[in-house]
Structure 1
Amino acid sequence: MTALTHPRLPARRGGGAGTWWSKAVLRAVEEAAFSAEDLRKGRALARAGAVGSITVAEGDAVAAVTDGQDAFTVEVTVPVLDDSDASAFTELVAAEAGRIGALLAGQLPHALVESVEEAGVELLPYGGELGSACTCEAWLDPCPHALAVLTQLAWLIQADPFVLTHLRGLPRERVLRDLHRLAPPQDAVTAEDEPAPEVVDDLVVAEDAAVRAARLLQRDSPFDAW
């Protein structure tokens, strides 16, 4: 299992516009909430910076949440894709030039998600898929602390769609590894195939785009817009 810890997000004002895919995740969080009051408190905790660093792994994420003088540990869960669905996702990413580069640059193309859904693969979660457990001993899950963590996960997914694929069982390294496996060998390309190595070229361009995007993200945090 691959785990990646994302640093604590700073406090912020309001919810911001977000991206279409982060809005979709936030809608799932809304669906999962048992009451508007719990949702409001969860959002308030998230905006106040009460959620600590979030460790994301295949199928779950863990974080500490501070609430007044107390601190609680929250684990949220998302079903992972089975091997068949994971393979279908990777193949659909590789099927069209530009998709790999978009993901590495922090974008989630709408056309890609539509293709994934048409193939019967659930990438974006819905409310009933979001599980949680918290040490606050609330009567119902998700409690406001879990909703705070889920809200901040949506913010992380806004900046990096690989956080979403990681939760679904496909960390960034696995996606890139599987894409390289799908790419045709260079010596197998013939004149008839040109411009056949789109996937190979796309990976090269995408890696360069990812480096540039990472530098921009370090210089200008995307969370400032929230």
Structure 2
Amino acid sequence: MTGRHTVTHPRIPPRRGGGGGTWWSKAWGRAVEESAFAVAELRRGRALARAGEVGAIAVDSGSAVAAVSDRDDAWTVTISVPVLDERDRATFVELVGAESGRIAAMLAGQLPYALLEACEEAGIELLPYGGELGSTCTCDSWLDPCPHALAVLTQVGWLLQADPFVLLQLRGLSREAVLAGLHALAGRGGADDLAVAEDAALRAARILTALEADPEADVGRWW
């Protein structure tokens, strides 16, 4: 089972701050802080991110690429994150299918903490630490990560705050790969709970579509 499927996220416009954040985006933020060479570079990277200087971010299995504007120049940044091996990817899908609410929660933009705990018990580390965040940049800085890379890493944190599948994509599991894995488990008679999970996922997808069309829509009837 592979998770290679590039997803390009549009440029994020300037913003005053990163917002309160979710527990998983805060964990990503701590890893970014750990990876920074010094506070000055971290602040510069965050300032570039908040100023909207990062272009569209292409997220793939184990990497994310974006252009960063800095004064009169533009640089290309590639960040890298270790992907889960095949056994861990398969185990993760099984853990998602083990409880009916997990895939529905993820499709609704949530990452259940109980799922993270189950992953840790199985020896799977979803959230990276600072030393796992690699980067390259076309600028002439000797720092790794440089402020441009820190800007991209900061905005990646904003992306996964809204969609935990961004984190999974970086770890080698695209949304399509997770759903395909769940369907494969169902095809092997992977438990009644999985059928319930898939039904919940479909309801969650309908809710998301309805809320995009009308934020005030009454979606309670789908549950």
Q: Give yes or no for TM over 0.5.
A: yes
Q: Which residue of 2 aligns with 1:113?
A: 116
Q: 1:21 aligns with which of 8, 18, 24?
A: 24
- Could you tell me which amino acid in structure 1 is paired with residue 207 of structure 2? R
- Note the alpha carbon deviations across 1:90-127, whole angstroms, 9 max, x for none: 11111112001011111000010011011111101110
**What is the alpha-carbon distance in structure 2 between the residues aligned to residue 55 and residue 199 of structure 1?**
31
Does structure 1 conserve the Cα–Cα contact (< 8 Å) formed by 2:18 and 2:158?
no
Between the two proteins, what is the percent identity of the paired residues? 62
Matched with 1:212 is 207
**Contact residue 180 and residue 200 of structure 1 kept, 8 A:** no
Note if contact 2:12-2:55 (Cα within 8 Å) is conserved in structure 1.
yes
User: Which of 71, 81, 85 does residue 82 from structure 1 map onto?
Assistant: 85
Q: What is the identity, as a one-letter code, of the residue corresponding to 1:35?
A: A
Q: Is 1:176 aligned with 2:171?
A: no
Partner of 2:48: 45
> 5 Å matches for 1:75-224?
75-183=78-186, 197-216=192-211
Q: 1:217 to 1:117 in 2, by over 3 A?
A: farther
2:76 equivalent in structure 1: 73
Q: TM-score, normalised by structure 1?
A: 0.89
- The 2-side partners of 1:127 and 1:98 are apart by 30
Shift of 1:212: 2.1
Return the offset for 1:211.
3.4
User: CA offset at residue 214 of structure 1?
Assistant: 4.7
* Mapping of residues 4-19 of structure 1, within 5 Å: 4-19=7-22
Q: Compute the displacement of 1:14 (Å).
A: 2.0
5+ residue gaps in structure 2?
A: 216-223
Query: What is the aligned length?
Result: 212
Q: Where does structure 1 lack aligned partners over 5 or more consecutive residues?
A: 190-195, 221-226
Aligned pair in 2 of structure 1 residues 155, 218: CA closer, same or farther (>3 Å)? farther
In the superposition, the TM-score normalised over structure 2's length comes to: 0.90
Question: Secondary structure of the residue that 1:31 maps to in structure 2?
Answer: helix
**Is the CA contact 2:100–2:198 (under 8 Å) kept in the aligned structure 1?**
no
CA distance in 2 between partners of 1:205 and 1:22 (Å): 24
Distance in 2 separating the partners of 1:153 and 1:209: 24
How big is the shift at 1:38?
A: 0.4
Contact conserved, 1:31 with 1:128, CA < 8 A, in 2?
Answer: yes
Q: CA RMSD in A?
A: 1.7
